[in-house]
Amino acid sequence: QVQLVESGGGLVQVGGSLRLSCAASEIIFNSKAMGWFRQAPGKRREFVAAIASGGRTVYDDSVNGRFTISRDNTKNTVYLQMNDLKPEDTAVYYCNGGLYYSGKEWQPEFASWGQGTQVTVSS
């Protein structure tokens, strides 16, 4: 019942673009906010972007101005348009719901994660 399916990743060159999709189960999608996280090799999972049910968005400074998060409420799907990709963007990208700010970082309400989608940026 609680499901997250990410897709759209791939291999691109520096400066290229990708559009990621995340299909979420209704219980997750109808939470206060949906968001994207990423995890690079040897690194911990980090926050990328979030969009609240009302449409307000928040971005990590590392992607602000390059990435755009959006949602389609008719499809229970959240998207991440990634432009001007850099090698530092290489990671497995995950989505989740119920995002809230703990005072130190953005965290999801739900403990389960999907398989993620691999994004590789080469020069």
CA-nearest of 26, 21, 8 to 73 is: 26
Q: How far apart are CA 13 and CA 48, in angstroms?
A: 20
Q: How far apart are CA 116 and CA 123, in angstroms?
A: 23
Each of the 123 residues of the chain gets a pLDDT tens digit; together they read: 679 999 999 999 999 999 999 999 999 999 999 999 999 999 999 999 999 999 999 999 999 999 999 999 999 999 999 999 999 999 999 999 999 999 999 999 998 999 999 999 998
